[in-house]
Amino acid sequence: MNGRGGPRDFWERERGSALRPTVPTGAPAHGARAPGGPSGAPALVPAGVPRPVGPPPRTGGAVAALVVALLTLAVPVTGIALGQFYFILLANVPGISLGVATLVKVPDTAEVERFLRYTWACNFAYIAVSAVLAAAFALLVMIVLGLPD
């Protein structure tokens, strides 16, 4: 990129500011800051409190991972509806619990990222194991029913 509008520039801009020239006309001297926030409004953070340095936690990704983990409950619910109560053992308990833990840790960006990775790993592993078991079950049904080759 040409130095403007890149990801780093996005996170380094002040909140609520739009893309603008690097040195706007009438700006204070280099290194000096105008009092208050952008457009002369009072600052949102008091002077003694440090500003956050990284991107905000990915709460949208955390919610999506939890929703996918909850959707994986379709497999045990289907098994229970068919009268096979041992399907409750196939519940994605680690994925759901890690998804909830991810949302609980929302203010801490590093923890959210770490738990988000764990939640997605559990979800993908659960889906892969479910697919393998479904394929094995389908193969078993074809063998038992003696379907033609």
Residue-wise pLDDT for 88-137, tens only, equals 888 899 999 999 999 998 888 889 999 999 999 999 999 999 899 889 98
Cβ atoms of 87 and 76 closer than 8 Å: yes
62: CB partners within 8 A, 6+ apart: 99, 102, 103, 106, 112, 115, 116, 119
Distance CA 18, CA 39 (A): 11
Could you read off the pLDDT of 9-60 as tens digits, one per residue?
666 666 555 555 455 555 555 555 545 555 555 556 667 777 666 667 788 8
Cβ atoms of 112 and 100 closer than 8 Å: no
Q: What is the pLDDT of residue 14?
A: 60
Could you read off the pLDDT of 79-89 as tens digits, one per residue?
899 888 888 88
- In this predicted structure, the answer to whether residue 72 has a pLDDT above a threshold of 80 is yes
Half-sphere exposure (Cβ direction) of 115: Cα atoms closer than 13 Å: 26
